[in-house]
Amino acid sequence: MDAMRTLAPGAEDSRDLGFGGRVALQTRNRFLNRDGSFNVRRVGLPFFRSLSAYHALLTISWPRFFLLSALGYVATNAAFAVAYLLCGPEALNGSKAVGLVPRYAEAFFFSVQTLATIGYGVLSPNGMAANLISALEALFGLMGFALVTGILFSRFSRPTPHITFSDKAVVAPFRSGQALMFRVANERSNQLTDVHARVILSRLEGPPPNRARRFHELSLDRPQVVFFPLHWVVVHPIDDGSPLRGITPEEFRAADSEILILLSAMDETFFQTVHVRSSYKPQEIAWGMKFADMFLRSEDGLVGIDMQKIHDLDPAH
Amino acid sequence: MDAMRTLAPGAEDSRDLGFGGRVALQTRNRFLNRDGSFNVRRVGLPFFRSLSAYHALLTISWPRFFLLSALGYVATNAAFAVAYLLCGPEALNGSKAVGLVPRYAEAFFFSVQTLATIGYGVLSPNGMAANLISALEALFGLMGFALVTGILFSRFSRPTPHITFSDKAVVAPFRSGQALMFRVANERSNQLTDVHARVILSRLEGPPPNRARRFHELSLDRPQVVFFPLHWVVVHPIDDGSPLRGITPEEFRAADSEILILLSAMDETFFQTVHVRSSYKPQEIAWGMKFADMFLRSEDGLVGIDMQKIHDLDPAH
Amino acid sequence: MDAMRTLAPGAEDSRDLGFGGRVALQTRNRFLNRDGSFNVRRVGLPFFRSLSAYHALLTISWPRFFLLSALGYVATNAAFAVAYLLCGPEALNGSKAVGLVPRYAEAFFFSVQTLATIGYGVLSPNGMAANLISALEALFGLMGFALVTGILFSRFSRPTPHITFSDKAVVAPFRSGQALMFRVANERSNQLTDVHARVILSRLEGPPPNRARRFHELSLDRPQVVFFPLHWVVVHPIDDGSPLRGITPEEFRAADSEILILLSAMDETFFQTVHVRSSYKPQEIAWGMKFADMFLRSEDGLVGIDMQKIHDLDPAH
Amino acid sequence: MDAMRTLAPGAEDSRDLGFGGRVALQTRNRFLNRDGSFNVRRVGLPFFRSLSAYHALLTISWPRFFLLSALGYVATNAAFAVAYLLCGPEALNGSKAVGLVPRYAEAFFFSVQTLATIGYGVLSPNGMAANLISALEALFGLMGFALVTGILFSRFSRPTPHITFSDKAVVAPFRSGQALMFRVANERSNQLTDVHARVILSRLEGPPPNRARRFHELSLDRPQVVFFPLHWVVVHPIDDGSPLRGITPEEFRAADSEILILLSAMDETFFQTVHVRSSYKPQEIAWGMKFADMFLRSEDGLVGIDMQKIHDLDPAH
């Protein structure tokens, strides 16, 4: 537990956790968006170096992905159609088209039949040049479709955990003291097991001009649950070891605090470890409130929760 | 080891492990079914938000999966057949059918030949509209079959560990005291390595009206085995640190106890970590019994076990 | 470190590590073969329950896999050919064959052209029945080839670490005492990182009739190496905490000892954790020997090892 | 922390970490190249045993991969074309070619149409022999393209983390003492989480002739960061426990020291653990310098870094 460790000032101390110290003085923006993406900017990287084509194609929206695929398909056929046209009027057996545009359309559809390896045969390549191009196009088609359909399937089958975080975290009585709490639940029917939470407090500390952002990992009453079929209230007890000890809501806000969260879990559909991030800023913390009961009172005695109540709060006393 | 830690009463204490405290008072149902699925209900989630299409398609039964695939295939061809019909009577070269139904059947089979990229060529698209539709259908077919066959292969190759749990757990003499034990064996020929067990006791504690469900992780004599070629007896010694210390079968039953188990292991076919869950309720615990010997007495001196004896019990003394 | 822990006698104590205690009395066979497979037998399992088709198809030999694939291909076409024949003599457009055998051959090759979605079109289905069968065959072909080629690729791309273990382990002077050592090297060009070793001593202990097999994990001087580009000598110091303390080669042999080893590592081709197992029996342990130098004395100053010397031993003094 | 542990001299002590002791005396080469590959040589392995075909095909350059694929495609078709020719002049329906070379070209393109399962049908197999060969070729084609496109997709989708290491490590004031530091940043848009660093000092120790290379793991002020959206300065405080305590740049160089680094992280595109290695030799360590500020001073208050400044140094005071 290094929650209370005070980092000494200096050039090197504030880059812990990959965030920067001085920078934070300029901004009241959040570092971590509620959806888990980072609110940061990196410049000075050559575009192609920073780009991971696969990552980009995995994470663009579905409409964009299908549009890109369709465009690639049309462009490839359009290019091969030009190649067939350039082979001369005898290049395609069975050709009946007259005039440039009809001939181009014919070559385009012949290209489709070759790229997708349909091969109706009404049109077929004639002569060495057209045959070579169609041989190349078949290879290109098989490899290209393998890439596109591979990405399609990866998108479809990629583990994308959907964890609902309560809209607000609360500071509520806990045992003989207080605790910071938020609750989470699994939205999906995928079973998650062995869920770990890590909670980090980010805030400004120290007097100006040495005021700098510090990061503290907050100890949790139970940092891990084995099973996660319903919901889980993650609890940081504000005890003597906590950096939140004795703090008021005003001080919390004045320090531009942010509660950063990383949940990791084993997704049993894939038997793969997945991650979800989120954060709470001061306006998303309810002091003196507690979470309302989510449990269902059902007739058949089955345990159940009402997911719509996950954000509901009650006064803490 | 937090086996003895008593959670203080309050709103936040009973959601450990993702289960709820008060709810359990209503029910004698088990939380965790013997097959590892959870006996819980979640309401209030929009259907499409909770649905993971991939997860659903991975976990439905094989007949259902093949039925769905076949239906999708028929429906797609039926829809494209309508599109070809709408292109008019000249849309298909080689068409010989007369009358709406024969023409629809012809268009349907032409669609099959295009979607599956067979392209016999006896029928082929004629005119811009039919050619465009067949180009679209080829793209659709390649992408659709990639999804269906990708899911098919994922279903086939997905690690599905089959661990047999003994029908009953026992409480039997162990060293100078008693222990709770159950035994497990790998049903499959896949080798499992580095098997970890976690055992959690769930029961009602405290006097009414504060009686609430509590969860205790039970310490194991050996929480892990490196190799798992035969069987393994998982042992929780009921020592001074155990929440089961001095408990009688009647008290165990009265507290609506449940022994929850999570096994994790490395499956060496996939070099992937897999999980198996199960549980024991009071009626599945044999007090004063011990497990019968499973070992084979073979002539050739090879070590072996008889898997049919995994559930066999003997009196403990 | 539980190396010195003595397990109490009883029904439950000897199944640690998934091995059995009493059984071992019957045999001088090794439990773990040098290639890492287990020398055990399990009976009483229904065949289909124990079978994991995917695991079986991944681990059969390459010739067997190709033979099975070819047989499946021939059988599928042979069956569909029967179906086409049953549709009557008019079922195939373009048919020229006369007589049952030629017609069957023709139907067989038409089936090939459909199953593999070639569709030359010289033969094509005629009539509702043949068209329906060919539509079914195309679907079956696409799904079947997805399974076969998926397994093919999984076999090809599956991480199969090849670690060479020295033929013999040695007991040699180490610091002020003795140590049990063996050495390992990576045969493959795949880089392995973060290699962990676990070494377990299995032997008979106690006086008859309570003589039973016990397992002890042996502590290692360095249980893990971060990098593994050359070779690694795994060292168990025979210190006061070691169950091998003061043991003679004769006692070691008389106890039917076996040194069981599990290596786990991150394979950087796949960024996947892989496992390798092996074992040493008494006749594979050289007392008073040490490993010969494997390093190359090269002119260009590059560090290198001669893998052929991995088994070489020198007298220890 | 075994940073200070002195390994005793002897045959077995210097192979820790998989590197060798004596060898290092011969060379001032680095063990670990800046790009993370090892500067070592292994001889004595049969070529095919050391080769992992999949690993090789994954790691060759893209041009080489495409060249190999194209060569395989041409060679396969060339071989099958010979087989068709050997079936005699009647083997292909629709053949119009006269003379060996035209007939070979025709057979070659027929093979393309079969291997890629296009099947225009202008050419089609005639007779038992040609039909059997085309059935075999279709199977071969489906399996071969599955391998090639599987490797293609694996290459494309393989996690290849790109971490920039600062050109130089520095030794700069830290708290009340000194520290060895280097900084790293993620070049890619893939998010990396839970980044762990392990830093190992390799150097020559002891008087001749027992001077040998020793390895020490260096303790880090913070060995892990949870989030890594910007950059991270990895810090080894040169405190009393550090093997670098009191060392001068000259001594550091004289000992042929090398700082070896392994970073591991969870790549959230794949939810897979990835590794990156690098090293610093004496000439890459700047004594008395510190890292320049990389943070952007932007108008909109968003936190940002300028990746081009990652290598920039300032005097340390």
What number is the ipTM of this complex?
0.81
Contact D31, D279 (CB under 8 A): yes
Express each pLDDT in A276-287 by its tens digit.
Answer: 999 999 999 999
Beta strands at D231-237 and D272-280: parallel, antiparallel or unpaired: unpaired
Instruction: Inform me whether the pLDDT recorded for D144 exceeds 90.
Output: yes
Please name the helix (run of DSSP H) or strand (run of DSSP E) that holds residue D107, with its range, or none: helix D100-115
CA gap B228, B189 in Å, rounded: 11
Instruction: Give the span between the Cα atoms of A44 and D165, in whole angstroms.
Output: 15
Confidence of residue A211 (pLDDT cuts 50, 70, 90): confident
Instruction: State how far the alpha carbon of B100 is from the alpha carbons of B85, B93, B106, C206, in Å.
Output: 9, 17, 10, 89
**What is residue C28's predicted lDDT score, i.e. its pLDDT?**
60
Contacts of B209 (CB under 8 A, 6+ apart): none
Q: Is the pLDDT of residue C150 over 50?
A: yes
Residues 66-95 of D with CB under 8 A from A: 69-70, 73, 77
Contact D249, A250 (CB under 8 A): no
Please determine, for residue D305, whether its predicted confidence score (pLDDT) is greater than 80: yes
Each residue's pLDDT tens digit, B189-203: 788 999 999 999 999
Q: Do A117 and C120 touch (CB under 8 A)?
A: no
What is the residue-averaged pLDDT of chain B?
Answer: 85
CA C278 to chain centre: 11
10 Å CB burial of residue A209 (0-12, 13-18, 19+) is: exposed
Is B102 among the domain residues?
yes
D10 has a chain B CB within 8 A of its CB: no
Query: A139 and A77 in one domain?
Result: yes
Q: Is the pLDDT of residue A13 over 60?
A: no
Interval C262-298: pLDDT, tens: 999 998 887 888 999 999 999 999 999 999 988 886 6
Based on the domain organization, do A174 and A282 belong to the same domain?
yes
Domain C-terminal end among C136, C157, C178? C157
pLDDT at B7 over 70: no
pLDDT at position B9 over 50: no
Residue A48's pLDDT is: 63
Domain final position from B136, B157, B178:
B157
Query: How far is the alpha carbon of A95 from chain B, nearest alpha carbon, in Å?
Result: 12
Structure tokens at A212: 């700098």
pLDDT reported for residue A11: 31
Banded pLDDT at A1 (limits 50, 70, 90): very low
Asked if residue C161 has a cis previous peptide bond (ω within 30° of 0), the answer is no
Question: Does A172 reside within a domain?
Answer: yes
A281 shares a domain with A210:
yes
Per-window interface: D 157-176 vs C, CB < 8 A: 159
The pLDDT of residue A40 is 77
CATH number at residue A148: 1.10.287.70
Q: What stretch of H or E contains A41?
A: strand A40-43
Per-residue pLDDT, D43: 79
Whether D226 and D135 share a structural domain: no
- b/e per residue, C216-248, with b = 16+ CB within 10 A? bbbbbbbeebbbbbbbbbbbbbbbeebbbeebe
Query: Pick from D20, D143, D273: which is nearest to C303 by CB?
Result: D20
| Confidence (pLDDT) at C312 | 95
Asked if B201 and B272 sit in the same domain, the reply is yes
Q: Do the Cβ atoms of B117 and D120 come within 8 Å?
A: no
Cross-chain residue pair B302–C27, CB shorter than 8 Å: yes
Q: What is residue A31's predicted lDDT score, i.e. its pLDDT?
A: 77
Mean pLDDT of D42-60: 78
- Cβ of A121 within 8 Å of Cβ of B121? The answer is yes
**pLDDT tens digits, A104-150:** 999 999 999 999 999 999 999 999 999 999 999 999 999 999 999 99
Contacts of C117 in chain A (CB under 8 A): 117
The reply to whether B121 and B245 lie within a common domain is no
Clarify whether residues D84 and D176 are in a common domain: no
Which D positions 233-292 lie with beta carbon below 8 A of chain A? 233, 235, 266, 268-269, 271, 290-291
The C-alpha R_g of chain A, in whole angstroms, comes to 29
Task: Write the CB contacts of D132 (distance below 8 Å, at least 6 apart in sequence).
Answer: none
Task: Give the Cα separation of D112 and D119 in Å (integer).
Answer: 9
- Contact between chains at A113 and B93 (C-beta distance less than 8 A): no
Indicate whether A152 pLDDT > 80: yes
Domain presence at residue C190: yes
The predicted structure's pLDDT at residue C298 = 65
User: Does residue C148 lie within any of the structural domains?
Assistant: yes
Residue A16 confidence (pLDDT) above 60: no
Do B306 and B294 form a contact (C-beta atoms < 8 A)? yes
- Give the gap in angstroms from C-alpha C34 to the nearest C-alpha of chain B: 15
Question: Which residues in D lie closer than 8 A to residue C309 (C-beta atoms)?
Answer: 44
Examine the domain organization and report whether A88 and A135 are in the same domain.
yes
User: Which residue on chain A is closest to B37 by alpha carbon?
Assistant: A191
Min Cα–Cα distance to chain B from D87, Å: 24
Half-sphere exposure of A83 (CA within 13 A, CB side): 19
Q: Once rounded to an integer, what is the mean pLDDT over residues D34-45?
A: 78
Q: How confident is the model at residue A296 (pLDDT cuts 50, 70, 90)?
A: confident
Q: Give dist(CA C293, CA C308) in Å, integer.
A: 11
8 Å CB contact of C119 and A119: yes
Q: Nearest CA to CA, how far is A189 from chain B (Å)?
A: 6
In a domain, D71, yes or no: yes
pLDDT at D25: 43
pLDDT of residue C270: 79
> What token pair was written down for A199?
């909670």
| A170 and A268 housed in the same domain | yes
- Taking CA–CA distances from D153, the nearest residue in chain C reads C153
Token pair listed for D205: 């120790």
Q: Which residue of A has its CA nearest to D314?
A: A11
Q: Which residue has the higher pLDDT, B199 or A33?
A: B199
Assigned token pair, A70: 């369709």
Average pLDDT, chain A: 85
Specify the pLDDT at position A64. Answer: 96
pLDDT at D24: 43
Cβ contact A153–B147 (<8 Å): yes
Whether the predicted model's global pTM rises above the 0.95 cut: no
Tokens of C169: 């382990």
Same domain, B166 and B104: no
Q: Residue A188 maps to which CATH number? A: 2.60.40.1400
Q: What is the mean pLDDT of residues D9-20?
A: 38
Q: Is residue B65 part of a domain?
A: yes
CB contact under 8 A, B121 and D117: no
Name the percent of chain C lying above pLDDT 70: 88
Task: Give residue A159's pLDDT.
Answer: 82
Range of the domain at B214: 160-315
**Long-range CB contacts for residues B141-144, cutoff 8 Å, separation at least 24:** B141/A116, B141/B76, B141/B114, B141/B115, B141/B116, B141/B117, B142/A116, B142/A145, B142/A149, B142/B117, B143/A69, B143/A148, B143/A149, B143/A152, B144/B72, B144/B76, B144/B115
3-state SS assignment for residue C131 = helix
CA dihedral A181, A186, A187, A191 (to 10 degrees): 180
By C-alpha distance, the chain C residue nearest B236 is C12
CB burial of D138-158 (b: ≥16 within 10 Å; e: otherwise) equals bbbbbbbbbbbbbbbbbbbbb
Percent residues over pLDDT 90 in chain B: 59
The reply to whether D25 falls in a domain is no
For the ranges B139-153, D40-54, D224-238, the lowest mean pLDDT is seen at D40-54
Residues in chain B: 317
Write down the residue that tokens 């099958």 correspond to.
Answer: D80
Please state the φ and ψ torsions of residue C197, each to the nearest 5 degrees. -120, 140
pLDDT of residue A5: 29
DSSP bridge pairs for C166:
none
Chain D hits for A28, CB-CB cut-off 8 Å, are 301
Residue B249 half-sphere exposure, CB side, CA atoms within 13 Å?
12
Which of A149, A193, A302 is closest, CB to CB, to B142? A149
CA dihedral D181, D186, D187, D192 (to 10 degrees): 170
Residue D19, domain member (yes or no)? no
Mean pLDDT for chain D overall: 85
Report CB contact under 8 Å: C121, A117.
Answer: no
At B300 the pLDDT is: 66
Mean pLDDT of A176-190: 90
Looking at residue C32, its pLDDT comes to 82
For the segment A223-237, what is each residue's pLDDT rounded down to a tens digit?
999 888 888 999 999
Going by C-alpha positions, the residue among A21, A45, A40 that lies closest to residue D306 is: A45
What mean pLDDT do residues A289-309 have? 81
Number of residues assigned to chain D: 317
Please tell me the total count of domains within chain C: 2
Q: What is the pLDDT of residue D148?
A: 95
pLDDT digits (tens, 9 = 90+) for C159-217: 888 899 999 999 999 988 999 999 999 988 788 999 999 999 999 888 877 777 788 99
Contact status, residue D211 vs residue D204, Cβ threshold 8 Å: yes
Let me know if B57 is exposed, middle or buried by CB neighbors in 10 A (0-12, 13-18, 19+). Answer: buried
**Percentage of the residues of chain C whose pLDDT score is greater than 90:** 58
One domain for residues A180 and A268: yes
State yes or no: pLDDT of C38 exceeds 60.
yes
- pLDDT-derived band at A22 (thresholds 50, 70, 90) equals very low
pLDDT the model gives residue D53: 84
- The pLDDT of residue A55 is 86
Same-domain status, A179 and A277: yes
Q: Which tens digit of pLDDT belongs to each residue from C229-243? A: 888 999 999 999 999
Q: What's the per-residue H, E or C state across B250-299?
A: HHHHHCCCEEEEEEEEEECCCCEEEEEEEEECHHHEEECEEECCCECCCC
Share of chain D above pLDDT 90, in %: 59
Highest mean pLDDT among A265-274, B19-28, D131-140, D226-235: D131-140
- The lowest-confidence range among A154-163, B142-151, C36-45, D133-142 is C36-45
Domain finish residue from D157, D174, D192: D157
- What's the sign of the alpha-carbon dihedral A56, A58, A60, A66? positive
Q: What is the 3-state secondary structure (H, E, C) of D245-281?
A: CCCCHHHHHHCCCEEEEEEEEEECCCCEEEEEEEEEC
